[in-house]
Homo-oligomer: A and B are copies of this chain.
């Protein structure tokens, strides 16, 4: 599994929240969890983290809920970094304490391009694009 379960839920949640935001709506934990098929309380914790890390925003009280400031300026990589950190883009595939061309493991030269491609793809994929995919073309979040 390339991403932690928390991170998987996080991405799905952000896309769902963003889809609501573009319709000028805020959305609560229960509806989000239902929409993406995740455990409610755990999803709450994840949304809390995302809000602390400024990926999402939230407001309390009636008509409160989660929303996203600007879906076009948040990228997939921001969600991944918020939840799992940057290591998946930098750490050695077979767990050496450092990964570098100077001290490579026997897989380094094969893996580095793939890892870089992953970073590029994650960096170029905005939440806004994912919302468009989700809305327009029959993509799924659960």
Residues of A within 8 A of B (CB): 1-3, 5, 8-9, 11-12, 15, 76, 87-88, 91, 93-96, 103-108, 110-111, 114, 117-118, 121, 125, 130-131, 133-134, 139-142
Contacts and interface: CB of A to CB of B under 8 A. Distances in A.
Contacts of A140: 96, 103-105
Contact of A12 (B1, B94, B133): B94
Given A1-B87, A105-B141, 5 more contacts: A1-B91, A2-B88, A5-B95, A12-B95, A105-B140
Nearest to A111: B121
A93 B141 CA distance: 11
A132 B23 CA distance: 58
Given A87-B1, A93-B2, A114-B117, A107 B9 contact: no
